[in-house]
Structure formats: structure tokens, C-alpha cells
């Protein structure tokens, strides 16, 4: 662990630290503890880092339990089963020092060329919403938005239309129209937000009506914040803002794109 490396990566308390892979459980705990010690005791305000990881079908780390993919779990129609599985994943994550996971996926999967169908809970918005809510309850250890001390913050993703992109391609536009978006893609998010209160929501890579979700005020403010009542942490997908500039060709500079977001 090199404090000077972290000081360079997060010069003003905001930055990105990539995870280390294939560490044993003990090594993971020691590494995360060292990171938190640095931020608590060697930075100006002493604010701990939010350490996140993946939990698509179990905590995605070496020596952690791996369960069936969500598309398989969804075939059970068993909310209690999913709640138990994701509670286990949460406790494994928290035991190593992780407090925030990027799960569950509540995209509605009807475009089978999309390469992440296995991460979804299927094609029916009603089923996706109810199973997604069970996953959030399992991850957070409650249904009221409070995060149990041995559980983690859940992230509802990807808002919105990510599984229905043109040709099933990652980051291509959402082509299915506003009615389909409102009747099919958004209802699972609405149900999970209203009944399970996830701590965070992740924006999707794709664009809706010509504007990328990461910088789309109608989607993120009018729909998500005002209509769905979400008041938690809104996070971007990996490289999401960089892709707005370099892939979707919007913004003259990184600073301008971040201001849009």
C-alpha cells in the first residue's frame, strides 16, 4: 500500500481507485483496511472511502460464493430465495470491507442479441420489478432504505433502456419509442424504488431520444428524481462520461461533459 499513489489518484477527495483482483480473503481485508486508514487519518476531512464491487450473482471476488445467474434465478419466481442469496452476497462483501455493490440489473430483456441478458431477470416488467426488489432487500438487509451494519448499499441499474438498444449493441441508441420506455422499461425501476428503497441508481450507457442517459436531465431529474421519487446516490457506469465525449461526440471538453452531468 502506497499512500502517495492514493494521494495522486484522489487529490481533492474525489477520484477513482481500481480494485485488485485474485486476492485472498485476508489480503482483501488488509488492503481495504489500509485504504480506509489512509482516508480516515491522512486526509484533510477524514471522510472514509466508499468501496464498491460487483455482485451480479454473488460477491464477485476470489474465494466468494457464486450462485446461478439472475436469468436462471428468475425462473424460480421465488422472492424469498433471491433475498437470501443476495443477503449472503452482501455479508461476504461487507466482511471484506466493501460497502456498496453494483447490483441488481433490472433492465427488461427482450432483445436477445444483447450480450448481458444473463444478468437480467427476464422479459416481464412485473416479474423483474418484484424480483429486483427482493434482491435490494437482500443486499441492504431491509426494505426501508436503511442499510444493516453487515449489509451493503445496492445499485439499481441501468437507467434506462440499456437492454433494448438498437441491434442489442452496447451503447447504441434506444430505438423503441417513448411509450415503450414508459410502459416497459421504467416500471421495474418504479416498483423497486417505491418498495425497497435502493441506496443508488446507475445511469445507462445508451442514449434516449438522441441524448445519452448520463447527461439527460429529463430522465435523471424529471423522471427519476421527481416522478419516481428517488433521492439517493446517482452514479455513472464505468467510463460513462468519457464515452459521452469520445463515443457519442458530445461536449468540447471533459469539464463540459461533467458540467452537463
Cα dihedral 238, 242, 247, 251 sign: positive
Return d(Cα 111, Cα 123) in angstroms, integer: 9
Give catalytic residue positions.
237
Amino acid at each position: 500500500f502506497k499512500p502517495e499513489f492514493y494521494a495522486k489518484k484522489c487529490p481533492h477527495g474525489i477520484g477513482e481507485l481500481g480494485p485488485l483482483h485474485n486476492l485472498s480473503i485476508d489480503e482483501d481485508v488488509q488492503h481495504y483496511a489500509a485504504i480506509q486508514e489512509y482516508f480516515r487519518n491522512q486526509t484533510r476531512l477524514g471522510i472514509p472511502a466508499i468501496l464498491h464491487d460487483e455482485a451480479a450473482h454473488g460477491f464477485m471476488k476470489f474465494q466468494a460464493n457464486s450462485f446461478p445467474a439472475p436469468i436462471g434465478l428468475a425462473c424460480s419466481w421465488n422472492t424469498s430465495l433471491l433475498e437470501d442469496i443476495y443477503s449472503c452476497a452482501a455479508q461476504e462483501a461487507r466482511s471484506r470491507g466493501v460497502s456498496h455493490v453494483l447490483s441488481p440489473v433490472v433492465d427488461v430483456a427482450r432483445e436477445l442479441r444483447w450480450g448481458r441478458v444473463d444478468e437480467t431477470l427476464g422479459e416481464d416488467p412485473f416479474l423483474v420489478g418484484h424480483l429486483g426488489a427482493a434482491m435490494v432487500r437482500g443486499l441492504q438487509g431491509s426494505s426501508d432504505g436503511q442499510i444493516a451494519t453487515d449489509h451493503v448499499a445496492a445499485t439499481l441499474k441501468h437507467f434506462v433502456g440499456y437492454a433494448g438498444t438498437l441491434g442489442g449493441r452496447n451503447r447504441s441508441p434506444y430505438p423503441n419509442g417513448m411509450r415503450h420506455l414508459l410502459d416497459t422499461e421504467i416500471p421495474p425501476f418504479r416498483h423497486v424504488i417505491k418498495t425497497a428503497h435502493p441506496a443508488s441508481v446507475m445511469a445507462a450507457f445508451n442514449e434516449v431520444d438522441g441524448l445519452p442517459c448520463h447527461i439527460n436531465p429529463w430522465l435523471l431529474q424529471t423522471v427519476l428524481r421527481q416522478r419516481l421519487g428517488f433521492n439517493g446516490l446517482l452514479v455513472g457506469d464505468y467510463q460513462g462520461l468519457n464515452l459521452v465525449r469520445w463515443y457519442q461526440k458530445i461536449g468540447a471538453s471533459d469539464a463540459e461533459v461533467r458540467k452537463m452531468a
